[in-house]
Structure 1
Amino acid sequence: MIKTLLVGFGFAAKVFHLPHLVHSEKFEVAGVVSRSGASKEYGDVSSVPVYATLDEALTQSDATLYIITTPSNMHVDMMKQCIRAGKDILVEKPAFLTVEEGEELIQLAEKSESVVSVHQNRRWDGDFLTLQKLLQEGTLGDWKVLESRFDRFRPHVRNRWREQAGPGSGILYDLGSHLLDQALVLFGEPDAVYAEVMTQRENGQTDDGFFIVLHYGEKRVYLRSNSFINSNYPRFELHGTKGSFVKCGLDMQEPQLIDGTFYEERMREVGTLHIEDTQDFSIQLGGYDQFFSLLAEGLSKREPVVSLGEALKMTKIIEMARLSSEEGRVIKQEEWKGESVL
C-alpha cells in the first residue's frame, strides 16, 4: 500500500481526496498536516498522527506520497520541500501561480526521483468524458464552437481565502483552472486568447467572474464563470457541422461525495443530442475514483497522471487571459513574452 499523508484538511481534502483513499486498497492514510488538529474529530482519520507543520511530517512520518491541499499560494514552497525530501506528490490545482514558478519547479522535479501529479479531477467529469467521446467519434461532424461554463450563485463575498485578496485567490485560478485544462486536453494550445476578468460583487476583493475566448483558427472555445447565475444553465454546448450536443447542470460527483453516497449508488445524467432530430443522450459515469487508480498505477511506473508540464500550459493561458483583460485586446501566442501580470 502507498502510505499517504494529507497536507491540509479543508474542503478539498475531505471531499475530493479522503473518500477515495479510504475506499482504495492501494492507499493507506498515514497522517495529516493540520495546524488546528481538526482531523482528530473526523472518523476516517481520527486515529492517524496529526502533524502541526510539513517539516514535522517530513522528519517523523514514513509516508511516501504527500497530497497538498493547502491554499494555492503555499503549493510551490511545499512541493519544493517534498521534492528535496524525496517524496512523491499530488498537488491540488493550480500547482503554481506563474509560468516562472512552474518552470523553476519543473527543473527541480526533473533532477529528483519524485513523481509529481496535479489533481485535475474534472477531466473525469462524466459530461466531459462524453464530450471527448463525441469528438473522437465525429458524431457532430467538424466541431466549430464549444461553450463551457462553471457558474455559481454566490452574490455575497464569504470569509474564505479564495474570496479574499491575495496570491492565488479568485475564480480564474479556481474554476478557470478546470475549464482551461479541459479545453487544452481537447484541443491543445490555442492560437490566441481574449478575456474579460471581472470583480462584480459588492466589497469584492478578487475576481469573481470571467469570459475567455480561445482561438483555434476559425473555431472558438468560450469559457465562462460568474457568481450571479442562479439557474440550471448549460454546462457544455458543442456545435459542429452535423449538429449539437447540450448538457445542463454540473457533474453530480461532487454533491455525492459531500453527502456520502458516491460509493453507494452513482447517479446517471442525461444530455441532449440535436442531429436529425432531438433526443436524450446518456452521459457517461464520471470517474474521480479512477484518477486515484491511475495515480497508484502511475506511481508504480514512476509516471504522473497529470504532469507539471501540462499545468504549465494552463498557467500560461491564465497569464495570457489576465494580460488580455488588462489591455482589452486579443493576445496572440507568438507575441506573448511570458511576463506575469500578477
Structure 2
Amino acid sequence: MSTAFVAPFLRVGLVGFGFAGRTFHAPLLRTTPGLQLCAVASSQPAEVHAQLGPHTQVWADPLALIASPEVDLVVLASPNDSHFALAHAALQAGKAVVVDKPFTLHAAEAQALVNLAEAKGLFLSVFHNRRWDGDFLTLQALLAQGELGRVVRMASHFDRFRPLVRQRWREAAGPGGGLWIDLAPHLLDQALQCFGAPAALYADIATLRDGGQADDWFACELRYASGLRVHLSASTLAAHAAPRFVVHGTRGSYRKWGLDAQEDALRAGTLPDPAQPEHWGHDPQAGELTQATDPAQPDQRHTQAWPTLPGRYPHYYAAVAAALRGHGPNPVPPRQALAVMQLLDLGRESAARRAELSVQIVS
C-alpha cells in the first residue's frame, strides 16, 4: 500500500445515496473516528442534506467527486453494474477505495481491479459487512473453541418475505440485479471465512415470484474434501423463515434464528456511538447449543441457550481508518473478495449447466 495518511481526518467521498449508501455507509462513516464524510455523489441533494446536513458537498457527477483533490478515500455504494468502472477511475486517480459488495459483476473485472491496486500500491477493500454480524461472530467463536467438534454440515439461510416485485434496479432484469448477486456474496464470504475454499459447488438459481424479472431464490451446496457440506440459500418468498444458521458437528449442534439486528437499527436512524461501543449491536435472541452430556451415551443430550455476541459493523471502517494510517491490516483484502467473485461466477455456470462443478480459486 502507498504511504500512510497522517492528517487528522481522512476525507471521504461517498458515491451513491440509495439504500446501501444511506443506510450503511453514511452512518458508519459519520461515526468512525478519524474519518470525515465531506462529499456525496447523488442525484438527490435534498435527501443528502436532510440526513447529513447542509455542509455536505453534493456532486452530480461521481467522476468529478473521484477526481477532487479534497477526497482521500472513495466509497462506492452505487448500483452493482457501476462498481468496476468507478473503482477503476478512482484507482487511476490515486485514491484509496472501498467498494460495497458485490465487488464487481464478474471475477475478471475484480481481478483487473486487484491488479491495478497492487500495481499502484493503493488501498482497495470490499464492504463484506456481514463478517461482523453478531450471529456469525458467535459461530466463529464456537468453531474456534471446538464446541461443535469437527463440523460436518452447515446450513445458512437468508430468508425474507417480499412477494411483491418492486421497481428498483436490485429486482430488475439485466446486469447487477437479482438475489444471487445481492445476497450470495454474504453467504459465500462467510463460508470461506469459516472453512476455506470448497472442492466443488452446485447452485440452483430461479425466479419464483409472480411478475419477477430477476432471480429471487437460490440454493447452493458447497462440498469439501473433508466431507463437510455447506448449504447456502436465500428466498424472497419465505413467510416462515428457516433458521439463520444450523451447524452440526461431532460434538454437538448450534442453531440460531433471526437476522442480525444492526441493519434494522441503522434503518431506524440509530447511530453507533464510538464512545460507548458496548451499547451497539446487541441481539436479544440467543442461539441454541446442543451437546451430548456423555460422549459414550449420545442419546443423553443437553440443550442450552447460547448468547449471541454483539454485532460489530463499526469495526469495518475503524479498521479501514487504521489500515490507511499504517496501523493495521485491511479488514477485507481485495483478493478475499476476488475469491467470492470466482464462486459467484461458478454458481451461475453451475445453475446454467445443472451440474456440480470443481472449484479452483485463482489468487
Q: Which TM bucket (shorter chain)?
A: over 0.9
Code of the aligned partner of 1:240? G
Code of the aligned partner of 2:267? I
- Displacement of 1:136: 0.9
**2:310 paired residue among 272, 278, 285:** 285
- Displacement of 1:281: 0.6
C-alpha distance in 2, partners of 1:32/1:151? 32
Verify: 1:125 aligned to 2:151, yes or no.
no
C-alpha distance in 2, partners of 1:121/1:45? 25
C-alpha distance in 2, partners of 1:84/1:263? 33
- Displacement of 1:303: 4.8
TM-score between the two structures when normalised by the length of structure 1: 0.94
Q: How does 1:157-168 map to 2 (within 5 A)?
A: 157-168=165-176
C-alpha distance in 2, partners of 1:60/1:313? 32
Partner of 1:200: 208
Verify: 1:308 aligned to 2:329, yes or no.
no
Partner of 2:272: 263
Partner of 1:294: 319
Q: How does 1:12-91 map to 2 (within 5 A)?
A: 12-91=20-99
Q: Identity over aligned residues, as a percent?
A: 37
Partner of 1:340: none
- Displacement of 1:58: 3.2
1:256-291 Cα deviation digits (max 9, x unpaired) = 111133537443331111113111110100100111
Where does structure 2 lack aligned partners over 5 or more consecutive residues?
1-8, 274-278, 292-300
C-alpha distance in 2, partners of 1:316/1:91? 17
Out of 266-275 and 202-211, give the one that drifted further.
266-275
Partner of 1:231: 240
- Displacement of 1:232: 4.5
Q: How does 1:183-198 map to 2 (within 5 A)?
A: 183-198=191-206
Q: How does 1:126-165 map to 2 (within 5 A)?
A: 126-165=134-173
Code of the aligned partner of 1:135? L
Partner of 1:324: 350
C-alpha distance in 1, partners of 2:307/2:163? 33
The answer (yes or no) to whether the contact 1:8–1:70 under 8 Å persists in 2 is yes
- Displacement of 1:61: 4.7
C-alpha distance in 1, partners of 2:10/2:176? 30
Code of the aligned partner of 2:323? G
Partner of 1:274: 290
Code of the aligned partner of 1:332? S
C-alpha distance in 2, partners of 1:211/1:310? 22
C-alpha distance in 2, partners of 1:45/1:185? 38
1:219-266 Cα deviation digits (max 9, x unpaired) = 100001111101253000110011100000100010011113353744
* 1:134–1:40 distance in 2 versus 1, CA, 3 Å: closer
TM-score between the two structures when normalised by the length of structure 2: 0.89
C-alpha distance in 2, partners of 1:284/1:33? 35
1:8-31 Cα deviation digits (max 9, x unpaired) = 111111111111222222111111
* 1:9–1:242 distance in 2 versus 1, CA, 3 Å: same
The answer (yes or no) to whether the contact 1:3–1:63 under 8 Å persists in 2 is yes
The alignment yields a C-alpha RMSD, in angstroms, of 1.7
The answer (yes or no) to whether the contact 1:271–1:283 under 8 Å persists in 2 is yes
C-alpha distance in 1, partners of 2:168/2:32? 31
* 1:262–1:34 distance in 2 versus 1, CA, 3 Å: closer
* 1:97–1:40 distance in 2 versus 1, CA, 3 Å: closer
The answer (yes or no) to whether the contact 1:115–1:303 under 8 Å persists in 2 is no
Code of the aligned partner of 1:258? R
1:186-222 Cα deviation digits (max 9, x unpaired) = 1111000011011111221111010000001211000
* 1:40–1:243 distance in 2 versus 1, CA, 3 Å: closer
* 1:299–1:167 distance in 2 versus 1, CA, 3 Å: same
C-alpha distance in 2, partners of 1:38/1:174? 27
**Number of residue pairs matched?**
336
Verify: 1:9 aligned to 2:17, yes or no.
yes
1:63-101 Cα deviation digits (max 9, x unpaired) = 100110000100000011100111001110011111211
Partner of 2:3: none
C-alpha distance in 2, partners of 1:232/1:162? 21
Partner of 1:180: 188
